[in-house]
Amino acid sequence: MEWIKKGIPYVIIILAVVLIRAFIVTPVRVDGISMYPTLKDKDIILLKKYDHNYQYGDIVILNYMKSKLVKRIIGVPGDSIEIVDGKLYINRKKVNDPYSSITADFSLIQLGYSEVPEGYYFVMGDNRGASSDSRMIGLIKKDDILGTASFRIFPFNSFGSIH
């Protein structure tokens, strides 16, 4: 009976860790350079699983063909998206976007849409020249987004908020 009393705190700790990882936050390793310079290959970020209120500019982790991709939300439902001469336009208004200068011209119409439909998002990597994103893989269903990331935990010299 004594070993049960001593083991209860360990069981509680293990259960807490499992529940936190399952429902609240979990680490995700960045694979590739599609989010450079914001994130680098092998950075570890925290996925906030509880955050499902996605907005323009959020960094999100999504399921795509059994892998996790890290991208930035560029368009929300109702938005029209165009990139012309290296400038990003959302709803025909030029947006200050530091990453579009290396981006080829693009229009949401190329994917068969005039605007992002309800329940979908348009995402891109920050390293636009080396990112497989909505320009290639199409719009992302809200259900395929696992949550947002706004905090890097590794490498330790880059520990902190990401934007």
Catalytic sites, residue numbers:
34, 71
In angstroms, the CA 138 to CA 140 distance is: 6
Structure tokens, 96: 């200050």
Could you please report the per-residue DSSP string of 17-80? HHHHHHHTEEEEE--SSTTTTTS-TT-EEEEETT-----TT-EEEEEETTEEEEEEEEE-TT--
Considering only CA atoms, which of 76, 79, 38 is closest in space to residue 56? 76
